[in-house]
Chain A
Amino acid sequence: MSTATVSPSAAPTADGQSPVLAVRDLCLSFGAIRVARDISFDLARGERLALIGPNGAGKTTLINLLTGVLKPDSGSATLGGRDLLALKPHQRVRAGLGRTYQITSLFRAMTVFENIFVAVSERMGASTMLWRPAWSRTDVCAEVERILEIVSLSDVASEPISDLPYGRQRLVELGLALALEPKVLLLDEPAAGIPHREAEVVQRTVDQLPDDIAIILVEHDMDLVFRFAREILVLVEGAVLRRGTPDEIAADPEVKRIYLGTSE
C-alpha cells in the first residue's frame, strides 16, 4: 500500500506537532455551481472541531470530499502525512478516517454484537478467517465488548438492531465508527432525529470519546456544538468564512448576520 507523503501541506501547528488532517484548497464545481471553494484547514490530534453553516453551505460536500464519495477538482488533503485523495474510500477508512452517518446505516438483521464484530474483525484482520467459529476469536470478541462498554450498549449486545429504539441505534452507529480506531472521526449529526431523553445519552457518549481521536462534528443543534467544540469552522456557500473558539464565533458579527438570515 502506498504511503506517499505530500510534505508542503503538512505544516507543523503551533504546538510543534504535525496536524493529523491537513486540508488545502479543496475545490469542487457541479457545472457553474461551486460547492467547495478553496477549503483549507488543519486538524490537530485530539481536536474537537465543529463544522457549522446554513443549509447548503457545503458541510456534507466537505465530508463527502474527505471520505471519497466525491472527487475534488483541485486541492489536497493528507491524513497522518499520507495523501488522502489518492486513496479509495475503504483505504481512507483503514488509514484512520472514520465517520458516522446522518441516517443510521447498520446491519439490521444482525445483533448489536455482530454489528460491532464486523467492524472490529475487519480492523484486526479476522474477517477472512473461514475455518473457526466467530465466537472462538476471543481477542476480537473482547475488543467488541470493550467498545460496547464505551457506547453503553453491553446490556443489549444479543439483541437484533431492528429491536432497538432509534436513539440506541445511533449509539451502535457511534460504536461502529469507534471500532475502526480512527485518528479522525467525522460525526454527521449524531443526535439528529432522536427524542430528547435519548439524545442526552448520545451527547454524553460523544463527550466521553477517547481523547486521542480528532473529531469533526457536523451539527445543527447549537447547544451541542458549543458544549462540545473547542473550535468552530463556519462554512458559507462552499467556502470557509471563519474559524475560531466558540466564544469568538458567537461574537462574530458576520456569523450572526448569516445565522439571523439577513444575508442574500
Chain B
Amino acid sequence: MAEPNTLRGRFTQVEGPLWLLVPIYLAAVAYFYLMGNQLHLGMAVVNMIILALSIDFILGFAGINSLGQAALSGAGAYMAGFLPVYFGWAEPITGLLVAGLVGAVMAYVTGIIALRGGELTVLAMTIIVAAILYEFANSYQDITGGFDGLRGIDIDRVFGLFKFDLWGRTGFVYSVCVLFVVHIALRVIVNSPFGVMMRGLRENPVRMRALGTPVFHRLLIIYAIGGFVAGIAGGLQTQTHEFVSMEVFAFHVSATALTVVIIGGLGRLYGAFIGAVIYVVFQDVFAKMAPQYWYFWLGLLLVLVALFAHGGVVSLIDKAAARIGLAGRRAR
C-alpha cells in the first residue's frame, strides 16, 4: 500500500487503510438491524468514540495532555440544550454545529491559560477548567437545571422527517452519520500538511519553535478543533437523549474518554473506535456481574495494555497486519 518510493510512501502512515471504513460502518448498519433493542448502548459507544477522537486528535497527534475534555464537550452539551429551551432553536443539525462552535470557543479561550506551561501544568489546568465549569453549572441551577437536568428539550425532526424516538432508531442513525463526518474530517486533517505539523509539535515543540512555527498559537488552533469535535460529542448526547445535566462536566467523563484512547491506542484514529467498544462492552458485561467492582477489570485491562500493548490495542492489530503484509509503517 505505502511503497517507500512513492511520494505517499515518504510519509508515515498514521491511519489505517481507506477500505477499513467499509467494515466499520457496515458493522454499524448490522448493529442497527440485529440489535434493535440495544440502540441506546450503540449510541453510547458512538458518543464515546467521538469524544475519544477529540482527545486522540489533540493528545495522540499534537501531544496536548488533557484530563478536562468534559469542559469542552459539556459546553457543547449545554449549548445543544439551551438552544431549543431558551432560544426556540430546535433544528438538530445547525444546533449541533453551534454546539461544536461553543466547544471550539471554550477550548480557544480556556486554552489561552491552560496550554501555557509544561505537560503536567496543562494536564492540571484542563482538570481545573472542567471543575470550574462544573461549579458554575451548580451555582446557576435555575439556568442549567443542576443535577436534575435541563427540562423541556425538544429537538425537531432531522431534515424535518425523522423524529427522535424512544427506541433510539433515529438517534443511532443520526449519531453514526455524525461520527462518519467527524471521522472523515479528522482523517483528512491528520494527513494534511497541518497534520504533519501537528506530529512535529508532539515530537518536539521546542524544535518547532526554532523552525519558525508559532507553537502556542498552533496549539490553540489544534485545541480548538479538538474542542469543536468534543462540543459535537456533547451536543449529540444532549440531542439524542433530549436531556442534559451538570454531570456532563464531571471529572469521570474526561477520565473515561482518556482511558478509552489509551486502551485503543494513541495517535491512530481507529484507537478511539476500538477503545470505546472495549470500554462499553467491559462496562456492560462486568458491571452486570459485579456492579461495585467492574472498575477492577478495567484497571486490569489498563495494566495489561501498559505491559504488553504499548500503543494500545490498535498496535497489536498493526503488528498482526504487518505480519501478513497488509499495513505500512506504524505511526509511533
User: CB distance B197 to A121 under 8 Å?
Assistant: yes
| Interface residue A75 (Cβ < 8 Å from any Cβ of B) | no
User: CB distance A135 to B10 under 8 Å?
Assistant: yes
Neighbouring A residues of B209 by C-beta, 8 Å: 89-90
User: CB distance B212 to A121 under 8 Å?
Assistant: no
Among B28-36, B97-105, B198-206, B248-256, the stretch that binds chain A is B198-206
CB distance from B169 to the nearest CB of A (A): 33
Contact code string A82-103 (vs B, CB < 8 Å = 1, else 0): 0000000111011000010100
B 1-16 contacts with A by CB, 8 A: 4-5, 7-12
User: CB distance B210 to A99 under 8 Å?
Assistant: yes
Say whether, besides A93-B211, A114-B11, A134 and B204 are in contact (CB < 8 Å). no
User: CB distance A132 to B192 under 8 Å?
Assistant: yes
B 203-234 contacts with A by CB, 8 A: 203-204, 206-215
User: CB distance B211 to A118 under 8 Å?
Assistant: yes
Contact code string A133-162 (vs B, CB < 8 Å = 1, else 0): 111011011000000000000000110100
Neighbouring B residues of A228 by C-beta, 8 Å: none
User: CB distance A129 to B194 under 8 Å?
Assistant: yes
User: CB distance A180 to B193 under 8 Å?
Assistant: no
* Distance in angstroms between the alpha carbons of A138 and B332 in the assembled complex: 25
Neighbouring A residues of B204 by C-beta, 8 Å: 105-108
* Distance in angstroms between the alpha carbons of A109 and B267 in the assembled complex: 12
User: CB distance A135 to B8 under 8 Å?
Assistant: yes
- Contact for A127 among B8, B10, B194, CB less than 8 A: B194
| Interface residue A184 (Cβ < 8 Å from any Cβ of B) | no
CB distance from A14 to the nearest CB of B (A): 32
| Interface residue B189 (Cβ < 8 Å from any Cβ of A) | yes
Neighbouring A residues of B203 by C-beta, 8 Å: 106-110
- Contact for A90 among B7, B8, B199, B214, CB less than 8 A: B214
User: CB distance B192 to A114 under 8 Å?
Assistant: no
User: CB distance B194 to A130 under 8 Å?
Assistant: yes
A 119-133 contacts with B by CB, 8 A: 119, 121-123, 126-133
User: CB distance A133 to B212 under 8 Å?
Assistant: no
User: CB distance A127 to B210 under 8 Å?
Assistant: no
Neighbouring A residues of B312 by C-beta, 8 Å: none
User: CB distance A128 to B194 under 8 Å?
Assistant: yes
CB distance from A161 to the nearest CB of B (A): 9
User: CB distance B213 to A122 under 8 Å?
Assistant: yes
Neighbouring B residues of A67 by C-beta, 8 Å: 210
Neighbouring B residues of A130 by C-beta, 8 Å: 188-189, 192, 194-195
| Interface residue B141 (Cβ < 8 Å from any Cβ of A) | no
Neighbouring A residues of B329 by C-beta, 8 Å: 160
- Contact for B193 among A94, A129, A158, CB less than 8 A: A129
* Distance in angstroms between the alpha carbons of A114 and B196 in the assembled complex: 7
Q: In the complex, what residue of chain A is closest to B211 when comparing beta carbons?
A: A119
* Distance in angstroms between the alpha carbons of A39 and B194 in the assembled complex: 40
CB distance from A227 to the nearest CB of B (A): 27
User: CB distance B193 to A126 under 8 Å?
Assistant: yes
* Distance in angstroms between the alpha carbons of A128 and B197 in the assembled complex: 8
* Distance in angstroms between the alpha carbons of A117 and B193 in the assembled complex: 8
User: CB distance A135 to B194 under 8 Å?
Assistant: no
* Distance in angstroms between the alpha carbons of A176 and B329 in the assembled complex: 23
- Contact for B7 among A101, A126, A141, CB less than 8 A: A141
Say whether, besides A110-B200, A114-B12, A123 and B191 are in contact (CB < 8 Å). no
User: CB distance A180 to B12 under 8 Å?
Assistant: no
CB distance from A201 to the nearest CB of B (A): 21
Neighbouring A residues of B7 by C-beta, 8 Å: 135, 138, 141
| Interface residue A203 (Cβ < 8 Å from any Cβ of B) | no
Q: In the complex, what residue of chain A is closest to B5 when comparing beta carbons?
A: A158
A 164-185 contacts with B by CB, 8 A: 176, 179-180
A 57-96 contacts with B by CB, 8 A: 67, 89-91, 93-94
Which B residues are within 8 Å of any A CB, using their own CB? 4-5, 7-12, 188-189, 191-197, 199-200, 203-204, 206-215, 329, 331-332
Interchain residue pairs with CB less than 8 A apart (15): A67-B210, A101-B207, A107-B200, A109-B331, A110-B199, A118-B197, A122-B212, A127-B196, A131-B188, A131-B192, A134-B191, A138-B7, A141-B7, A176-B211, A179-B211
